[in-house]
Structure 1
């Protein structure tokens, strides 16, 4: 790692709001992959007649634990039964013993239920715990945004690098194709595809990727035009380096500042895009936990304030953290501070 890169990292760490936002968001995202052990209606561990079972990883019918049928047992009821029998059997449930897709039909009244001690953010119009759905929605939204951002930037960098390096007729042809493709209405295409096929995670991922790469090509193209005329590129050509080696080994590492600084803001846009599609009904299929779907429920149940307030707050805080990270990265890579970083 170069000395300049080390100084940029130190500068990023000195911007506390961005540095701590990165730590917090990374920690929350990593913890979200263990949600099945935190919020789930399946037991983490069952001990029955001296045998140990792990229902989180495998399906066990009710008759495995002394039930009368082959359906999956209600582990909350099974825990109560074992406690009453006091026969040495036990069930260890997650901290929040509810699934994001489970309708709680035993609650008094009709859904959506208001917040309570047992369900701090209430339930939605199908009786599902809102807090649990928010937690799973965070993992889905951030994973989706990261994947779209990564593949969009990868495609945009590749095409932009080829445009800028080869230039001429090739650059002009690709640029006209990009301009034509950019005129295709993305929302209408999503609506058409959703009317023909059932929308899925993969479909939405592909659609946003094929429309999300074009903006990055402009930045990388300009950087390539600027860098390819420099002496180290001429030296690489004189030494017999191939075009691909010159582009991706020599020029591209010196042209990635726009990618690094724009990536967090691209992530914000992709998370918001998924939420908007879910809100409009063209997003992830039911019963996938989704912030946009909860907002849509809030519009249909205007007096159930928790259905709107909860996902809006979660989306706001997530996008705020990502924006703080983006601002800190942009400031750390600001060309105006380059001289001060070098001579610091």
Structure 2
């Protein structure tokens, strides 16, 4: 008993010694908070503050000019009877169903191609990534010219190569959403780079072992590549879902929500409500509903992927 008490006393003394910090550690901590303080202050003032203000305004009727009037859940109740909410959500969901798989599949294919040892590899990587850093407004104008039904390059090529008349793209109710999804061709660079980085970390020994067992290219891709990069696929999918539900610039620049409300996306409706109609309270409610939708979709993606995603640390 005496020995056990002595051991416990020694442990307590060592723990206290560990907790006690040196003057140097204290100076380093102060320096840390000093250097990080601009970010903390900026986050509180320009991000945290507006978030809290938006939550408060979502329970009010506010038009910027007059003081906010408390309406409780009135804005949220009105959402269920608002035709434009359903219309904009359906347009956004349709776009997401097209854009997310297109972005993931195209990004992965480009990453696989650019992971090969070919001449001019660095040039091609830069060329495919560069368009993704261009301003969204510039890209929207570019695509509006490319897909113009009268003098656009795409319709001209379709006519000359295949002898068919191209669709009316952004002016057609059937083609406006697919046209928006097609614009992801110039935005897939970020997804491609993340896939490329993950592919470069894969162990070559697994591929060599599979080759000895007679596995070919497709079998290696399905049974080795896809499982090993499945966490990256999940990450890129979630990012693509979030981005697709925030689509705004393309519709604002090219179609202004048309034709016949078919590209009137949810964020476009939110913007229109806030800065054209000055219904800031209702717009704040729309913003929080969008946050809830994205949060639920993210959690659902994580839940569904539990049995589909391979994590190396779980198998050690």
Normalised-by-shorter TM-score class: 0.5 to 0.7
TM-aligned CA deviation for residue 280 of structure 1: 5.8
* Residue segments in structure 2 that go unaligned for 5+ positions in a row: 1-73, 150-169
Q: In the alignment, is the contact (CA less than 8 A) between 1:149 and 1:270 conserved in 2?
A: yes
Greater relative contact order: 1 or 2 (C-alpha under 8 angstroms, separation 6 or more)?
A: 2
* 1:317 corresponding residue in structure 2: 292
* 1:246 corresponding residue in structure 2: 220
* 1:121 corresponding residue in structure 2: 78
In the aligned structure 1, how far is the partner of 2:81 from the partner of 2:186?
32
Deviation digits for residues 183-219 of structure 1, max 9, x if unmatched? 5443213134447564521221110x20332222223
Deviation digits for residues 267-296 of structure 1, max 9, x if unmatched? 101211x24544567454143253234331
TM-aligned CA deviation for residue 153 of structure 1: 0.5
Matches within 5 A, 1:1-344: 121=78, 131-164=82-115, 166-169=116-119, 171-194=121-144, 196=148, 198=170, 200-207=176-183, 209-227=184-202, 229-230=204-205, 232-272=206-246, 274-278=247-251, 282=255, 284-288=257-261, 289-295=264-270, 296-302=272-278, 304-305=279-280, 308-325=283-300, 338-339=312-313, 341-342=314-315
Q: Secondary structure at the match of 2:201?
A: helix
C-alpha distance 210-140 of structure 1, shift in aligned 2 (>3 A): same
TM-aligned CA deviation for residue 265 of structure 1: 2.3
In the aligned structure 2, how far is the partner of 1:167 from the partner of 1:190?
34
Query: How many residue pairs get matched?
Result: 213
In the aligned structure 2, how far is the partner of 1:271 from the partner of 1:157?
21
C-alpha distance 320-223 of structure 1, shift in aligned 2 (>3 A): closer
TM-aligned CA deviation for residue 173 of structure 1: 4.1
In the aligned structure 2, how far is the partner of 1:312 from the partner of 1:183?
26
Q: Of Structure 1 and Structure 2, which has the larger fraction of its residues in helix?
A: 2
C-alpha distance 180-219 of structure 1, shift in aligned 2 (>3 A): closer
Q: In the alignment, is the contact (CA less than 8 A) between 2:140 and 2:249 conserved in 1?
A: no
* 1:42 corresponding residue in structure 2: none
In the aligned structure 2, how far is the partner of 1:292 from the partner of 1:224?
34
In the aligned structure 1, how far is the partner of 2:228 from the partner of 2:98?
24
Root mean square deviation, CA, Å: 3.8
Q: In the alignment, is the contact (CA less than 8 A) between 1:279 and 1:292 conserved in 2?
A: no
TM-aligned CA deviation for residue 266 of structure 1: 1.9
Q: Secondary structure at the match of 2:78?
A: coil
TM-score (norm 1): 0.50
C-alpha distance 271-204 of structure 1, shift in aligned 2 (>3 A): same
* 1:77 corresponding residue in structure 2: none
Q: In the alignment, is the contact (CA less than 8 A) between 1:299 and 1:308 conserved in 2?
A: no
Q: In the alignment, is the contact (CA less than 8 A) between 1:160 and 1:218 conserved in 2?
A: yes
* Residue segments in structure 1 that go unaligned for 5+ positions in a row: 1-116, 123-128
